[in-house]
Amino acid sequence: RLFAQAASAAAAIPSADPRREWYLERAQEGTVALSVAPGSAPALSLAPWTGPDLPGSIASTYKYRLVVTGAPGTRVGLATAGLPQRWIGSFCTDRVCAPFRTSVVMPANGVKVVEFQVVPTTERKGPVNVRIDATSGGRTVATVRKVVNV
Protein backbone atom coordinates (compact mmCIF):
# COMPACT_ATOMS: atom_id res chain seq x y z
CA ARG A 1 0.00 0.00 0.00
CA LEU A 2 2.81 2.40 0.83
CA PHE A 3 4.52 1.79 -2.50
CA ALA A 4 1.21 2.43 -4.30
CA GLN A 5 0.97 5.75 -2.45
CA ALA A 6 4.57 6.54 -3.39
CA ALA A 7 3.75 5.81 -7.05
CA SER A 8 0.73 8.13 -6.90
CA ALA A 9 2.82 10.88 -5.34
CA ALA A 10 5.54 10.43 -7.97
CA ALA A 11 2.96 10.58 -10.75
CA ALA A 12 1.86 13.98 -9.42
CA ILE A 13 5.35 15.42 -9.94
CA PRO A 14 5.43 17.62 -13.06
CA SER A 15 6.62 15.65 -16.09
CA ALA A 16 9.38 18.22 -16.73
CA ASP A 17 11.06 17.30 -13.43
CA PRO A 18 14.01 15.03 -14.29
CA ARG A 19 13.57 12.99 -11.06
CA ARG A 20 9.92 12.06 -11.75
CA GLU A 21 10.70 8.88 -13.70
CA TRP A 22 13.25 7.82 -11.10
CA TYR A 23 10.68 8.08 -8.29
CA LEU A 24 8.11 6.16 -10.35
CA GLU A 25 10.60 3.36 -11.00
CA ARG A 26 11.59 3.11 -7.33
CA ALA A 27 7.95 2.82 -6.26
CA GLN A 28 7.42 0.15 -8.92
CA GLU A 29 10.46 -1.81 -7.76
CA GLY A 30 9.17 -1.71 -4.19
CA THR A 31 5.81 -3.07 -5.30
CA VAL A 32 7.52 -5.85 -7.21
CA ALA A 33 9.84 -6.72 -4.32
CA LEU A 34 6.88 -7.28 -2.02
CA SER A 35 5.04 -9.47 -4.51
CA VAL A 36 7.79 -11.99 -5.29
CA ALA A 37 7.75 -13.58 -1.84
CA PRO A 38 6.69 -17.25 -1.92
CA GLY A 39 2.91 -17.57 -1.73
CA SER A 40 2.26 -13.97 -2.83
CA ALA A 41 -0.45 -13.29 -5.35
CA PRO A 42 0.63 -12.26 -8.86
CA ALA A 43 1.00 -8.51 -9.29
CA LEU A 44 1.34 -5.94 -12.04
CA SER A 45 3.15 -2.64 -11.95
CA LEU A 46 3.18 -0.02 -14.72
CA ALA A 47 5.65 2.88 -14.99
CA PRO A 48 7.08 4.93 -17.86
CA TRP A 49 9.58 2.98 -19.97
CA THR A 50 13.16 4.14 -19.42
CA GLY A 51 15.02 1.49 -21.41
CA PRO A 52 16.06 1.54 -25.07
CA ASP A 53 13.29 1.44 -27.65
CA LEU A 54 12.49 -1.88 -29.23
CA PRO A 55 12.58 -2.19 -33.02
CA GLY A 56 9.52 -0.64 -34.62
CA SER A 57 8.86 1.96 -31.91
CA ILE A 58 7.68 5.28 -33.28
CA ALA A 59 7.89 8.74 -31.71
CA SER A 60 4.13 9.08 -31.03
CA THR A 61 4.01 5.81 -29.08
CA TYR A 62 3.51 5.94 -25.31
CA LYS A 63 5.90 3.41 -23.76
CA TYR A 64 5.61 1.76 -20.34
CA ARG A 65 7.52 -0.74 -18.26
CA LEU A 66 5.05 -3.43 -17.20
CA VAL A 67 6.38 -5.67 -14.46
CA VAL A 68 4.56 -8.96 -13.94
CA THR A 69 5.21 -11.14 -10.90
CA GLY A 70 4.07 -14.66 -10.22
CA ALA A 71 5.14 -18.14 -9.24
CA PRO A 72 7.99 -19.48 -11.40
CA GLY A 73 6.70 -21.54 -14.34
CA THR A 74 3.20 -20.06 -14.17
CA ARG A 75 1.64 -18.88 -17.44
CA VAL A 76 0.12 -15.41 -17.08
CA GLY A 77 -2.16 -13.94 -19.74
CA LEU A 78 -2.04 -10.17 -20.29
CA ALA A 79 -4.79 -8.16 -22.00
CA THR A 80 -5.44 -4.46 -22.35
CA ALA A 81 -8.77 -2.62 -22.23
CA GLY A 82 -10.02 0.94 -22.11
CA LEU A 83 -8.14 2.31 -25.09
CA PRO A 84 -9.92 4.63 -27.52
CA GLN A 85 -11.34 2.94 -30.60
CA ARG A 86 -8.63 2.05 -33.14
CA TRP A 87 -5.76 2.65 -30.69
CA ILE A 88 -3.43 -0.29 -30.20
CA GLY A 89 -2.04 -1.66 -26.96
CA SER A 90 1.02 -3.78 -27.67
CA PHE A 91 2.94 -6.11 -25.34
CA CYS A 92 6.60 -6.56 -26.31
CA THR A 93 8.74 -9.34 -24.87
CA ASP A 94 11.98 -10.78 -26.15
CA ARG A 95 11.82 -8.59 -29.26
CA VAL A 96 8.36 -9.88 -30.23
CA CYS A 97 5.29 -7.63 -29.96
CA ALA A 98 1.67 -8.78 -29.73
CA PRO A 99 -1.31 -6.42 -30.06
CA PHE A 100 -3.96 -6.29 -27.30
CA ARG A 101 -3.04 -9.57 -25.55
CA THR A 102 -0.21 -11.99 -24.92
CA SER A 103 0.90 -14.55 -22.39
CA VAL A 104 4.19 -14.96 -20.57
CA VAL A 105 5.67 -17.82 -18.60
CA MET A 106 7.13 -16.58 -15.34
CA PRO A 107 10.90 -17.16 -15.13
CA ALA A 108 12.69 -18.73 -12.15
CA ASN A 109 13.01 -15.36 -10.36
CA GLY A 110 9.23 -14.76 -10.57
CA VAL A 111 9.56 -11.41 -12.38
CA LYS A 112 8.99 -10.63 -16.06
CA VAL A 113 9.50 -7.15 -17.53
CA VAL A 114 7.38 -6.33 -20.57
CA GLU A 115 7.45 -3.20 -22.69
CA PHE A 116 3.84 -2.08 -23.06
CA GLN A 117 3.20 0.39 -25.87
CA VAL A 118 0.11 2.45 -26.55
CA VAL A 119 -0.02 3.40 -30.23
CA PRO A 120 -2.44 6.26 -30.95
CA THR A 121 -3.87 5.90 -34.44
CA THR A 122 -6.40 8.73 -34.19
CA GLU A 123 -6.23 12.28 -32.82
CA ARG A 124 -7.51 12.67 -29.27
CA LYS A 125 -7.26 15.28 -26.52
CA GLY A 126 -7.55 14.68 -22.78
CA PRO A 127 -7.04 11.67 -20.54
CA VAL A 128 -7.10 8.09 -21.79
CA ASN A 129 -7.73 5.30 -19.28
CA VAL A 130 -5.62 2.22 -19.88
CA ARG A 131 -6.24 -1.05 -18.04
CA ILE A 132 -4.18 -4.23 -18.13
CA ASP A 133 -5.56 -7.45 -16.69
CA ALA A 134 -3.47 -10.49 -15.80
CA THR A 135 -5.14 -13.89 -15.85
CA SER A 136 -3.98 -17.30 -14.73
CA GLY A 137 -5.94 -20.53 -14.57
CA GLY A 138 -8.93 -18.86 -16.23
CA ARG A 139 -9.37 -16.10 -13.65
CA THR A 140 -8.20 -12.50 -13.29
CA VAL A 141 -5.36 -12.39 -10.76
CA ALA A 142 -4.20 -8.76 -11.04
CA THR A 143 -5.17 -5.48 -12.68
CA VAL A 144 -3.29 -2.23 -13.17
CA ARG A 145 -4.73 1.08 -14.41
CA LYS A 146 -3.00 4.11 -15.86
CA VAL A 147 -4.33 7.47 -17.03
CA VAL A 148 -2.43 8.71 -20.09
CA ASN A 149 -2.75 12.44 -20.67
CA VAL A 150 -2.65 13.16 -24.39
Predicted pLDDT of residue 78: 97
Helix axes 20-35, 2-11, angle to 10 degrees: 160
* 108 CB neighbour count, 10 Å cutoff: 7
Give the mean model confidence (pLDDT) for residues 61-80. 90
Higher pLDDT, 88 or 49: 88
Closest alpha carbon to 48 in 96, 115, 100: 115
Residue 35: pLDDT band with limits 50, 70, 90: low
Give the mean model confidence (pLDDT) for residues 64-93. 90
Identity of residue 21: E
